[in-house]
Copies of this chain bind each other. A is one copy, B any other.
Amino acid sequence: MLPKGFKVAGISSGLSNKEGKKDLAIFISDVAASAAGIFTQSVAKAAPVLLDIERLKKGGKFFGVIANSGCANTCTGDKGLEDAQYVCSVAETVFGLKSGSILCASTGVIGQYLNISKNNFTEKIELLKTNSGTSSSNEENAVSAIMTTDTFIKKSEKEIVVKNGKIKIWGCIKGAGMIHPNLKGLHATMLSFILTDAEIESAELQKILEKSADKSYNCVSVDGDTSTNDTVIVLSNGQSGTGKLSRDDTKAFIRTFDELTLELAKSVAKDGEGATKFIEVEVKNAKTKSDAKIIASTIATSPLFKTAMFGADANWGRIVAAAGRACVSFELNKVNIYIAGIHTFKNGVALMFSERAAKKSLSEKEVRVILDLGIGNESSKYYTCDFSYDYIRINADYRS
């Protein structure tokens, strides 16, 4: 269920080439809300990303996010920015909100203009307004409308009991390819929208989001390709009626917020293009957290590691090779590797293990790989999926 004071909708507007596909969504608050956002750090930022960054920089309160699939509105120059502005302004007018109070996001093919025939776009937004609501089918429609190569709806919700009542956090995410978010500050085509009825100032919300992203969104990779459109937006409208959060309640909120972003981020790796399995790579006992994250990320993005996982092959040699090229120094004779619970490599040397048992464990839908460097106390996890024939199929004819 949505947090109090939020409505969502998703409709088929014709922005996508796929006839009948839901392609336009709105996530809207009844009252002005605090907002936080993080965006792709790509030099080639999409028009909606540029618009959101500018609006969030100005500060103030926001009412919602309008998002489309089918067209990324990226590399579209000044016209692209005008189009993004037009989409927001029509939404603001139809919903009776002041100018500049709606944020936007796009995902889809790069380099095409938004197909908004200006006469009937207002009708589409009116349809979006009519269809907006709080039911589970509204939720499903909204999340469906931002999906591209995604194969299932990815959303999560949490409830926190605070001193004066209950707070809800609801979040959704889309993304299956071009996934290797690198989100920072006011800056993945991963789109994620989080709605909460907690009362939190924008500045604090931004801090909570940025910190949370480094342990969730920024630890997911499907293909190592960072998008031009990655966007995470959080709206907090205070409609739970629980008032300003106490210190303890804020801690509880952050804990739960982190759980939610991690669930959402993991769901992207689970739905990675062509993925047959979800893989968690943990690097343990590194000297620094950054060392651990760089090695985990290098393993999680290695095509040779990911194809071995597709083949259910406990090929720890490719894990060592990936770790070795991560530009982080370590001592090979202190390294231990565990694949799907099997100790395959001990203090720098191969261990004998049952290839049959390994094949069986690696055929599960979720696989955990641990690389223990044995030289420190810091650890980091990275989430990814295997590299399959379907990844090639999907991407060799995505645009056509």
Closest chain-B Cβ to A315's Cβ sits at a distance in Å of 5
Q: Contacts A111-B316, A313-B397, A316-B111 hold; do A223 and B304 have CB atoms under 8 A apart? A: yes
Question: For residue A328, which residues in chain B have a CB less than 8 angstroms away from its CB?
Answer: 43
Copies per complex of this chain = 2
Q: Is A243 an interface residue (CB 8 A)?
A: no
By the criterion CB–CB under 8 Å, are A317 and B110 in contact?
Answer: yes
Contact indicator A323/B44 (Cβ below 8 Å)? yes
Interface 1/0 per residue, A175-219 and B, CB below 8 Å: 001101010000000000000000000000000000000000000
Residues of B within 8 A of A313 (CB): 396-400
Chain A interface SS verdict (over half): loop
Query: A302 at interface (Cβ–Cβ under 8 A)?
Result: yes
Residues from chain B with Cβ under 8 Å of A42 in the complex: 321, 324-325
A320 at the interface (CB under 8 A from B): yes
Q: A1 on the interface (CB 8 Å rule)?
A: no
- How far is the CB of A216 from the nearest CB of chain B, in Å? 19
The reply on A392 being an interface residue by CB < 8 A is yes
| Contact B348 A75, beta carbon cutoff 8 Å | yes
A315 and B399 contact, Cβ closer than 8 Å, known pairs A43-B328, A320-B44, A320-B228: yes
- Which of A177, A304, A322 has the largest count of B CB atoms less than 10 A from its CB? A304
Is B396's CB under 8 angstroms from A311's CB?
yes
Contact stretch, chosen from A26-34, A51-59, A383-391: A383-391
Residues of B within 8 A of A396 (CB): 307-308, 310-311, 313
> A154-193 vs B: 1/0 string, CB under 8 Å?
0000000000000000000000011010100000000000
Give Cα distance in the complex from A178 to B320, angstroms. Answer: 12
With a CB–CB cut-off of 8 A, which chain B residues contact A399? 308, 313, 315, 317
Whether A109 is near chain B, meaning CB under 8 Å from some CB there, is yes
17 additional A-B pairs beyond A43-B326, A109-B317, A112-B350, beta carbons within 8 Å, are: A42-B321, A43-B323, A43-B324, A43-B329, A74-B317, A74-B320, A178-B304, A226-B325, A303-B387, A303-B395, A308-B395, A308-B399, A311-B395, A311-B397, A311-B398, A388-B392, A389-B392
Binding site for B on A (CB under 8 A): 40-45, 72, 74-77, 109-112, 177-178, 180, 182, 223-228, 301-304, 307-308, 310-311, 313, 315-318, 320-326, 328-330, 332-333, 345, 348-350, 387-389, 391-393, 395-400
